[in-house]
Each structure stands twice: as C-alpha cells, then as structure tokens.
C-alpha cells in the first residue's frame, strides 16, 4: 500500500511571505497526486492534482506544486500567503493499479501571521 508523509505538522508563516508544504510518498510506480485544503468547519477542498504531463501543476488560490518522481515528492508552494490561507493542508496519493482509494498524509496546519 501507498503511504504519504507530511513532515511538517505545523507551519507558521508571516503574511506575504512564501511558503512550502512538503509531501513525500512511498512508491516509485505511477501514481496520481492531490493536495486538499480544509478550512475550519468545512470539507476537504481540492487545491490541485497531478495525473500526468507537466510536472509543475497550478491550482486555485495561487498555489502550485511540483511533482518530482526521483525524489517521490509533491511539495506545495505559494509565493505570497494571505491570512485567508490559514487552514489544514492534506497531501493524497492514489495508485490506479490498486484501486480507487486515496492515501492521505497527516496534514499540515498552516498559520499565516499578520
């Protein structure tokens, strides 16, 4: 089975500063990669996904992520964060060879400091 590691459980960052949230996954076979965001009292919302093609993926709210197959990573970045980006961020992986389920990391809590 796949496993996903989000090394940083909490990331505080000042407003307008850049941020990178790290995600590593276990398998080197073809996988699909996703980042979800959860705002307080809301469901998981898709930020972006990588299925194939360009390794740099752009998502909503100015976020982007880069797929690095050799390092089995899919780090999420934003060049300038806003207060409204304060939320929990989840990296997820699916392996089309093993079924429909998503494998999630433990999440990273991003706090943007004014």
Distance CA 105, CA 89 (A): 9
Structure-token pair, residue 49: 């996904």
Q: How far apart are CB 104 and another protein at their closest, in Å? A: 4
Of 26-65, binders to another protein (CB under 8 A) are 32, 34, 36, 41-46, 49, 51
Q: Is 67 in the site for another protein (CB under 8 A)?
A: no
Q: How far apart are CB 45 and another protein at their closest, in Å? A: 8
CA dihedral angle for residue 75, residue 80, residue 86, residue 89, rounded to 10 degrees: -10
Q: Is 62 helix (H, G, I), strand (E, B) or coil?
A: helix
Contact 58, 64 (CB under 8 A): yes
Q: How far apart are CB 3 and another protein at their closest, in Å? A: 9
- Residues of the shown chain interacting with another protein in the complex, contacts defined by CB under 8 A: 4, 32, 34, 36, 41-46, 49, 51, 90, 92, 94-96, 99-107
């Amino acid at each position: 089975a796949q496993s996903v590691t989000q090394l940083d459980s909490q990331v505080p960052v000042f407003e307008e500063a850049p941020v990178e949230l790290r995600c590593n996954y276990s398998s080197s076979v073809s996988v699909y990669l996703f980042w979800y965001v959860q705002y307080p009292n809301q469901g998981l919302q898709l930020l972006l996904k990588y299925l194939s093609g360009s390794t740099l993926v752009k998502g909503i709210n100015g976020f982007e992520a880069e797929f690095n197959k050799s390092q089995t990573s899919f780090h999420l970045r934003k060049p300038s964060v806003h207060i409204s980006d304060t939320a929990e961020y989840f990296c997820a992986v699916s392996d089309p060879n093993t079924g429909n389920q998503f494998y999630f990391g433990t999440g990273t809590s991003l706090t943007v400091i004014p």
